[in-house]
Amino acid sequence: MSVERKIGVIGLGLMGTAISLRLLEHGYSVRVWNRTQEEAAPLVERGAVWSDAVATECDRVVICLYSSDIVAMVVGPLLPDLRAGQVFVDTTTGEPAQSEAMGAQLAARGVSYLAAPISGSSEQTRRGEATVIVGGGREAFEGCADLWPVLGRNVFHVGGWGDAARMKLASNLVLGLNRAALAEGLAFAEAIGLEPAAALEVLKGSMAYSRAMDVKGRKMIERDFSVQARLSQHLKDVRLMLDAAADAGLSLPLSETHRRLMERAEAEGWGDLDNSAIIDVYRSSSP
């Protein structure tokens, strides 16, 4: 059976743009929509087509939005026009219960919903190096086999809709703490008189190593906070983690500290910078 090469993308932020470019490069006919149409201009120049009716024109639609609330706001008005057999692939890092609610809403219309949050920055996604965590029906998952290598290097089907959201939060918890620990370690090295670049190389060659050092180390040292993933977006995710942990009766003291650090960064006006900017919380004053 031939693969449907026309695909829609809703949401053209950092991740939506990266995914759209990947799809174009892999020969898909890409229809795009965003709340602000001017964001689509670079993609249209590369061959994408702007459409106000992405959800009705395409059998498969990739959603790349900021939160579950925004997904509900955007998809809700589309429901009456959807048709049985469509597949919605939602890459948003969202709240588990809301992912389950969206899946049920779409299933009632005969539409398959795959919650597919992506672990990795927009730059890593652009290079095909990210990890995709997928929840939803196995048949729909297998029917999108052509898409997964485009969206990421590693793909895991983890169960139902909410399970993908839960797994992404667990993954982001560890990733975010690795990044915060790196920021603290580099700030400490600077404060005690070590040359930061040399310290980073030692850390990368030691048992302290994490991939955060490869992705964020130089950015922290050079204060290059050009955006790969916004600090405020990860703060949103940490709040979701803490809410989920509270519901489960679990305390997350490291994540609570991480939340406070990022809230201080946001208060300094750094929320729209890359999440590597957390190091300046340490540089600006003692935590």
Chain segment 7-59, per-residue pLDDT in tens: 999 999 999 999 999 999 999 999 999 999 999 999 999 999 999 999 999 99
Looking at domain 6-159, which of 3.30.70.1290, 2.30.110.10, 1.10.10.350, 3.40.50.720 is its CATH number?
3.40.50.720
Average pLDDT over residues 270-277: 97
CA 46 to CA 61: how far, in whole Å?
19
3-state secondary structure of 27: coil
- Taking each helix axis from N to C terminus, what angle separates 253-267 and 161-191, rounded to the nearest 10 degrees? 70
The model's pLDDT over 63-104, given as tens digits with 9 standing for 90+, comes to: 999 999 999 999 999 999 999 999 999 999 989 999 999 999
3-state secondary structure of 74: helix
Average pLDDT over residues 122-138: 95
Q: What is the pLDDT of residue 60?
A: 97
Q: Which long-range contacts (CB under 8 A, 24 or more apart) does 260-267 make?
A: 261/180, 261/287, 262/231, 262/232, 262/234, 262/235, 262/238, 263/235, 265/231, 266/231, 266/232, 266/235
Active site residue 236: no
The model's pLDDT over 143-199, given as tens digits with 9 standing for 90+, comes to: 999 999 999 999 999 999 999 999 999 999 999 999 999 999 999 999 999 999 999
Q: Token pair of 177, please?
A: 């703490």
Residues in the chain: 287
Q: How many angstroms separate the Cα of 75 from the Cα of each of 14, 27, 34, 65, 66?
A: 20, 26, 13, 11, 13
Q: Which residue spans of the chain are classified as CATH 3.40.50.720?
A: 6-159
Say which amino acid occupies 42. Answer: P
Q: Token pair of 117, please?
A: 């949050």
Q: What is the pLDDT of residue 2?
A: 42
What percent of the chain shows pLDDT beyond 90?
Answer: 95
Q: What is the pLDDT of residue 120?
A: 87
Instruction: Classify 167-284 by CATH class.
Output: mainly alpha
Q: What is the pLDDT of residue 92?
A: 94
Residue of 168, 216, 219, 236 marked catalytic: 168
The model's pLDDT over 167-181, given as tens digits with 9 standing for 90+, comes to: 999 999 999 999 999
Q: Which residue spans of the chain are classified as CATH 1.10.1040.10?
A: 167-284
Question: Residue 112: left (phi > 0), alpha (psi -120 to 50), or beta?
Answer: beta
Higher pLDDT, 121 or 135: 135
Average pLDDT over residues 250-264: 98
Residues 281, 185: contact at Cβ < 8 Å?
Answer: no
- pTM here is 0.89
CA 101 to CA 72: how far, in whole Å?
9
The model's pLDDT over 210-239, given as tens digits with 9 standing for 90+, comes to: 999 999 999 999 999 999 999 999 999 999
Q: What is the pLDDT of residue 140?
A: 97
